[in-house]
Structure 1
Amino acid sequence: MSGAGAVLVAVAAAIGNLLQGWDNATIAGSILYIKREFNLQSEPTIEGLIVAMSLIGATVVTTCSGPLSDFLGRRPMLIISSVLYFASSLVMLWSPNVYILLFARLLDGLGIGLAVTLVPLYISETAPPEIRGLLNTLPQFTGSAGMFFSYCMVFAMSLTKAPNWRLMLGVLSIPSLIYFALTLFFLPESPRWLVSKGRMLEAKKVLQRLRGRQDVAGEMALLVEGLGVGRDTAIEEYIIGPAVNEFSEAEQIKLYGTAEGVSWIAKPVTGQSSIGLVSRKGSMANQSGLVDPLVKLFGSVHEKLPETGSMRSALFPHFGSMFSVGGNQPRNEDWDEESIARDGEGDDYVSDANEDSDDNLQSPLISRQATSVDRDMPAPGQGSSMIGGGWQLAWKWSETEGVFKRIYLHQEGGPTGSSRRGSLISLPGGDGDGEIVQVAALVSQSALYNKELMHQQPVGPAMIHPSQTSAKGPSWSDLFEPGVKHALIVGVGIQILQQFSGINGVLYYTPQILEQAGVGYLLSNLGLGSTSASFLISSVTTLLMLPCIAVAMRLMDISGRRTLLLTTIPVLIVSLLILVIGSLVELDSTINAFISTSSVIVYFCCFVMGFGPIPNILCSEIFPTRVRGLCIAICALTFWICDIIVTYTLPVMLNSVGLGGVFGMYAVVCIIAWVFVFLKVPETKGMPLEVIIEFFSVGAKQAQVANNINT
């Protein structure tokens, strides 16, 4: 799956986090000079308020950012964020007194809140699954890069006779203008948001730009299916082959994909797939275990992957279909009302809409077509149903329920055996060879099906875009769906633990913390004062973060989010404990400065590899499209409230318990965080967002069953 367009879009969007990092470092340096000008040395409350005011602004805007982004779109909110960044920097450049400065910091916080909340969401909704982790680590990279550039600027200004803190803060206006231009002229709207509003033509064009190819029919179907909030998802297991005579008539299930062609035949089986096995164990045998069944369920996906070969690149590359939405078909290729109006003279579609618009779809999106083994197969790769991470999208018709069921298929290893390979059916234009494959299937009600059109369609049941459903927008009741509630526990929990590990409080006050640690001794031979020396150390620290984040970007989609957290958090604990010991044991000032500075650097570098980017990545992945904005707003609100508490209380804590006591508290939180990740946080690497959502639904049901059994 090509991702060049998605990479460029992600880089442009991540500039918003560069501005946040720039602001964090600038206020950390300039607060020393602000205190002197306004005589705040004896008023730590006002000092803390100047720093925390941007956090208050971010918290305020976060309360409405989710619903607003669901209503207005992701892109307009990013544009507003860039305008707020620019306006606040100009006001800070002016700032004649503390009150104007506090107001400017509030405006700045509004921009920060929008960017930090929506950039990970935007990147997740535009990135291919295979590189989503890499691209969603970009905000961490650009944020640290912004901090580095800012600390370099503050260090250079600190060497002047009269450092100007207003200029330090006002320089933010320059990158803010660049970000405004990018959001206005380069960034497209999120295709998932466009689909949720029924704007299918626009969504298709955006997807074609992001993926660098014309055939996006399969992903379009996936985005529409993702509008549902998983309620009835079940795990089934199949053996699949291309021949109607491979299985008996009674055990056959016909599966259909997004490309017009021959149906594939499935036979239900039990106990064949690792996903199904883990699912059954999670719901029956392992209920006494501490590890969440959801964690084991996600882990089963990554334990048994197909071997490299033809079946790895596509589960069944000529997957047939009863739907006329193939990427190269001349009819209805735009999946919207405009194309239906142009080609509406046929009998395959029924429309009750009169307007030539793509905004309010009421006409059938996909219609059932006649299928048989006599139909010509599509060309290889045409109308592919692959949706990323080895998953494939299909549908089946349930006669008993009278509905279409949507299926996400995942291959379990290679073909079921050499004895099952061979000439299963002679297909027109093919070589006569086929394969029997073993798959796990996530089966749920299709979001496309509408029962009301059942008797209006002479060929078969119609599939339409659920515009009446999406028009309702997110509902608070959706938050109490088992899968959504389970995801909220993971998202909110990891945000709380991230903030109380103390990173943002340490970053805001890094110069002062390092000054207390005695970093001036390390650079005294250079003739630098303690203040300038602390800025230089901060610059070096953030510079060292960048290659660490680059390594994390590479590993995010290889080792995975969960593995990185479980690996880096212990290093955080060790570095914090060293700081505690160093503060309790009397050491030479130079040795103490070296140990303190080294431990802080190690802490920062490991943090930005795991606990820094991964909470936001996870929160942008685990919620359904319909409530994603609302749920991310809840997680972001938690983030900012905890950030305010940590940042505002840090000066008081430093005065009361000292640097060692502060880091000791953070070490305890990191230990709790490691336990939480081990027990509750699943691995989501390489999986389509819609599949992740379905897994949460299944896992939550298993947890409910477990609770009912235990009680």
Structure 2
Amino acid sequence: MKGAVLVAIAAAVGNLLQGWDNATIAGAVLYVKREFHLESQPTVEGLIVATSLIGATFITTISGPASDSFGRRPMLLLSSILYFVSGIVMLWAPSVEILLLARLLDGFGIGLAVTLVPVYISETAPPEIRGTLNTLPQFTGSVGMFLSYCMVFTMSLMDSPSWRLMLGILSLPSVVYFFLAVFFLPESPRWLVSKGRMKEAKHVLTLLRGTEDVSGEMALLVEGLGVGAETSIEQYIITADNEDNASVHKDQIKLYGAEEGKSWMAKPVREPSTLAMLSRHGSVANPNVPLMDPMVTLFGSIHERVPQTGGSMLFPNFGSMFNMADQQHNTSARPENWDEENPNNDAGDRASDAGSGGDSDDDENNLRSPLLNNDDNGSEQLGGMGIGGGWQLAYRKDKKSKIHERIYLHQEPGAASGSMFSVAENESAVHAAALVSRSVLRLDDISDHHAIGKALEKQPNPSTSSWRDLMEPGVKHALFVGVGLQILQQFSGINGVLYYTPQILQQAGVGILLSNLGMSSDSSSLLISGVTTLLMLPSIGFAMRLMDIAGRRWLLLSTIPILLATLILLVVGNVVDLGSMVHAVVSTLSVIVYFCCFVMGFGPVPNILCAEIFPTRVRGLCIGICALTFWIGDIIVTYSLPVMLGSIGLAGVFGIYAAVCTAAWFFVFLKVPETKGMPLEVITDFFAVGARR
């Protein structure tokens, strides 16, 4: 797991360069327009800023399919090269035309990094910390902005600030990014599997996870290559496999794990599973509401806390944010060996299986332990899972069709914990929800674990994405969510505000706050922008801590109302005459709070979700579509902002952004599901199931 963290940090340097560029152009454009006399040409000024967005938009149209064909790593290497070349050209730039060319190349590098870094991190990170690691691009981007504002502010204090030097310094950190990509970034194991390069994928996965036994996750990656397969929800009572008993009872099914020596006996439960019932009817904590997408309820039935159980109905190791206050209140009652960094300490207390009759082993709280594993004495014990996030991969052979099926299993609490069905008569029984679909593996005899291992070593036919795959119900539904989030994120106005923060604050009168220090209005605005960016960093750190605990959806629903409130304050401050000093304070504080809340929710979450909800086979293509939406919206917002400021003023601009934030909250509440802690392949299976309901 340490390897995955280091890889994510190295990959996120690409976003540091993007943040650096965003802040640099925001300050440098103040001096560019003076040298080239653009004060009366706001269109050209806007074009200098927007050209990089045009480049990012263009490269995005091919980045997704290109990454599916050539790999994620080569595209990140190309991004670092483009950053370097654009920095050198901007350092030279004798004319507006050359500067526009450099900005275009810079946009190519930005487009590749912003599009593919979240995909790369999602495909290399374990499910339990995937949200945390995928918040790193937001964090490094803000670090880049802060460092850049510090540089531009320092240079603004000089007699003759050089905008060429401001922009050209980008080439230095891009060299660091290139060497990190060359020496520290392996190719994505999911991409390698999709191209049939199984040995390379296993080697990379071994390095990322720090363990030699990655057969379960390798099988998961292979199974993730399927698109559009029919998936059903079932429920089993699972017991240890008695190897001495060669016969299988007629109402039992034998399940085989991908790991050698793993097998279980499963008895199908004929009543509807907890998952199926909650996904259709909701629950006490998450009832169905008018217009709510059934997909949201389906995912919500996994993560929510139900009053009778004190734990999640399907994920006893995960709690919802609604109970975090209770957990804090009970801190004094925790045992001395409580690990504050481990959210699973009380999993055994909340959802111990029926018939256990005592405290669960510490191993049961380990999210990455198998559903049934061997203790030191060789006997079978209840456990967690083997492929991440509380799930176990197993196989069975359908008696009628003779087709091999793969099953994603997750333990449900027993009757003592509030489950619908009692398994108290068998102390080593586990209640499990199951997602069942046809296996991608070409298996001859699943009873022979060596056969499963050999099937994993076989090179599957290299997968290729096609537009036809986008018509699959689950993929279409995921695209609706991803594209909708990208549109609403952009039209909430964040990038337009970021690019023009110095000018916006200058119009708001922030120079008054620092006039006693003898600073020019330009330097004052840049200083405020740098301080604002610095304050964003702890906010992102807080979001990183909550991303895999509270979840992506909760962060969005909690931060968007604060965005709305700050925008309303900005409108009021510009409509009502509060006096120059009060107006400056209200505007500055509102912008700071807006930024801090944005980077906790609407900043990182759309990219995180888009990198999680698409199947491996079409992930690059779908990410390209979402990123194209992102950049088109970015161009519209950025290019139109100077004109809007001149026509309707700050009050009108922020009023429009407030209306968009209102619409965004309802979209998230009704349409966006929670994906925290789930393997990517399980997420896409849920979309396939939910889209057909």
* Structure-1-length-normalised TM-score: 0.84
Q: Is 1:295 aligned to residue 296 of structure 2? A: yes
CA contact (8 A) 1:447 1:466 kept: no
User: For residues 140-177 of structure 1, what are the alpha-carbon distances to aligned partners after superposition, in whole Å with 9 as ceiling and x for unaligned?
Assistant: 00000000000010000000000000000011111000
Q: Aligned residue for 1:593?
A: 584
Matches for 1:386-405 after TM superposition, within 5 Å: 386-405=386-405
Of 479, 502, 514 in structure 2, the residue corresponding to residue 511 of structure 1 is: 502
Structure 1 residue 229 displacement after superposition? 1.2
> Are 2:434 and 1:437 aligned?
no
Which of 232, 235, 240 is 2:233 aligned to? 235
Is 2:198–2:459's contact at 8 Å kept on the other side of the alignment? no
> Given the superposition, is the C-alpha separation of residues 548 and 12 from structure 1 closer, same or farther in structure 2, using an over 3 Å criterion?
same
Report the CA distance between 1:573 and its aligned residue. 0.2
Shift of 1:115: 0.2
Match of 2:278 in 1: 278
| Residues 1:76 and 2:74 are matched in the alignment | yes
User: Aligned pair 1:638/2:629, yes or no?
Assistant: yes
One-letter code aligned to 2:431: Q
Distance 1:34 1:78 in 2: 30
- Count of residues in correspondence between the two structures: 630
Q: Is the 1:247–1:267 contact (alpha carbons within 8 Å) kept by the matching residues of 2? A: no
Partners of 2:528 and 2:452 in 1: CA distance: 67
Tell me the residue number matched to 1:570. 561
Matched, 1:313 2:366: yes
Range with greater deviation from structure 2 (681-690 or 395-404): 395-404
Residue type of the alignment partner of 2:21: D
Write out per-residue CA displacement over residues 538-591 of structure 1, whole angstroms, 9 at most, x where no aligned residue: 000000000000000000000000000000000000000000011100111010
Residues 53 and 593 (structure 1), Cα distance of their counterparts in 2 relative to 1, 3 Å cut: same
Instruction: Pick which of 206-215 and 657-666 moved more.
Output: 206-215
For 1:262 and 1:160, the matched residues in 2 are separated by 69
How far residue 415 of structure 1 moved from its aligned partner, in angstroms, is 7.5
Which of 201, 204, 214 pairs up with 1:203? 201
Residue 412 of structure 1 corresponds to which residue in structure 2? 412
Shift of 1:396: 1.0
3-state SS of paired residue (2:238) = strand
C-alpha deviation, 1:248, in angstroms: 8.3
Cα drift, residue 444 of structure 1:
0.7
| 1:416/1:225 CA distance change after superposition, 3 Å | farther
Aligned to 2:652: 661
Residue from 550, 563, 575 that aligns with 2:541: 550
**Contact 1:416/1:436 (8 A) holds in 2:** no
Q: What's the CA shift for 1:401?
A: 1.6
Q: Which moved more, 1:305-314 or 1:171-180?
A: 305-314
The 1:150/1:462 distance shift into structure 2, 3 A limit, reads closer
Deviation of residue 6 (structure 1)? Answer: 0.6
Question: Deviation per CA, 1:487-534, whole angstroms, max 9, x where unpaired?
Answer: 000000000000000000000000000000000000011111111000
Change in Cα spacing, 1:315 to 1:415, as seen in structure 2 (3 Å) is farther
Is 1:526 equivalent to 2:517 in the alignment? Answer: yes
Q: How far apart are the structure 1 equivalents of 2:506 and 2:289?
A: 50
The aligned amino acid for 2:67 is: S
> 8 Å contact 2:219–2:456 — kept in the other structure?
no
What displacement does 1:379 show? 10
CA distance 1:101–1:243, shift in 2 (3 Å)? closer
1:58-77 alignment runs, 5 A limit: 58-77=56-75
Distance 2:385 2:574 in 1: 59
Aligned match for 1:129, one of 120, 127, 133 = 127
The answer as to 2:606 corresponding to 1:615 is: yes
Offset of 1:312 from its aligned partner? 3.9
Contact 2:252 2:267 in 1 (8 A): yes
Structure 1 distance, partners of 2:180, 2:31, is: 33
Q: CA RMSD in A?
A: 2.8
Aligned to 1:475: 466
Q: 1:584 aligns with which of 562, 575, 581?
A: 575
Bigger shift: residues 237-246 or 661-670:
237-246
- Pairing of 1:353-368 with structure 2 (within 5 A): none
Give 1:208 shift.
1.0
1:388 aligned counterpart, secondary structure: coil
For residues 81-120 of structure 1, the aligned pairs below 5 Å read: 81-120=79-118
Partner amino acid, structure 2, of 1:256: Y
| Equivalent residue number for residue 675 of structure 2 | 684
Percentage of pairs with the same residue: 66
The residue identity in structure 2 corresponding to 1:553 is: M
1:497 aligned partner: 488
Q: Shift in Å at residue 267 of structure 1?
A: 1.1
Shift of 1:464: 3.6
Q: Which moved more, 1:254-263 or 1:220-229?
A: 254-263
Q: What's the offset of the Cα at 1:287?
A: 8.6
Instruction: For residue 479 of structure 1, give the secondary structure of its aligned residue in structure 2.
Output: helix
Distance 2:469 2:416 in 1: 40
Residues 1:420 and 1:657: Cα distance change in structure 2 (over 3 Å): closer
Which residue, out of 121, 141, 156, partners 1:143? 141
- Determine the C-alpha separation between the residues in 2 that align with 1:140 and 1:529: 31
Partner in structure 2 of residue 265 of structure 1: 265
DSSP 3-state at the match of 1:20: helix
Quote the Cα distance in structure 1 between the aligned partners of 2:422 and 2:528. 66
Give the whole-Å Cα distance in 2 for the aligned partners of 1:557 and 1:463.
35
Q: Is contact 1:236–1:268 with CA below 8 Å preserved after alignment?
A: yes
Q: Deviations over 1:350-405 (max 9, x none)?
A: xxxxxxxxxxxxxxxxxxxxxxxxxx9699999x9611111111111102121111
User: TM-score, normalised on structure 2?
Assistant: 0.86
- The answer as to whether partners of 2:195 and 2:463 remain within 8 angstroms in 1 is no
CA distance in 2: counterparts of 1:552 and 1:316, whole angstroms:
27
| Conserved 8 A contact 1:576-1:663 | yes
Say which is worse superposed, 409-418 or 656-665, in terms of deviation. Answer: 409-418
Contact 2:220/2:387 (CA < 8 Å) preserved in 1? yes
Match status 1:176 vs 2:174: yes
Per the TM alignment, residue 250 of structure 1 is displaced from its structure 2 partner at its CA by 2.3
Letter in 1 for 2:138: Q
- Alpha carbons of structure 1 residues 273 and 315: separation in structure 2 relative to 1, 3 Å: farther
Q: Which residue of 1 aligns with 2:618?
A: 627
Describe the SS at the equivalent of 1:240. strand
Confirm or deny: 8 A CA contact 1:518 1:589 kept in the other structure.
yes
Task: Determine if contact 2:189/2:204 at 8 Å carries over to the other structure.
Answer: yes
- The Cα of 1:475 is off from its aligned counterpart by 1.4
Whole-angstrom distance in 2 between the partners of 1:41 and 1:462? 68
Residues 127, 8 of structure 1: CA spacing in aligned structure 2 closer, same or farther, 3 A cutoff?
A: same
Distance in structure 2 (CA, Å) of the matches to 1:257 and 1:90: 54
Greater mean alpha carbon deviation, residues 144-153 or residues 305-314: 305-314
**Residues of 2 paired with 1:481 and 1:465: CA distance?**
26
Q: Supply the AA of the counterpart residue of 2:395.
A: W
3-state SS of paired residue (2:281):
helix
For residue 692 of structure 2, give the secondary structure of its aligned residue in structure 1. Answer: helix
CA distance in 2, matches of 1:642, 1:593: 29
Q: CA deviation at 1:106?
A: 0.2
User: For residues 562-621 of structure 1, what are the alpha-carbon distances to aligned partners after superposition, in whole Å with 9 as ceiling and x for unaligned?
Assistant: 000000000000000000011100111010000000000000000000000000000000
Distance 2:436 2:158 in 1: 66
> Are residues 516 and 262 of structure 1, via their aligned partners in 2, closer, same or farther at CA, if it must alter by over 3 Å?
closer
Pair 318,548 (structure 1): closer, same or farther in 2 beyond 3 Å: closer
Question: Once the 2 structures are TM-superposed, how far is the Cα of residue 421 of structure 1 from its aligned partner?
Answer: 5.8
2 CA distance for matches of 1:648 and 1:467?
52
Q: Which residue of 2 aligns with 1:448?
A: 441
Cα separation, partners in 2 of 1:11 and 1:317, compared to 1, 3 Å = closer
Q: CA deviation at 1:435?
A: 1.1
Contact 2:126–2:388 (8 Å) recurs in 1: yes
> What is the deviation of 1:249?
1.9
Whole-angstrom CA distance in 2 between matches of 1:241 and 1:55: 57
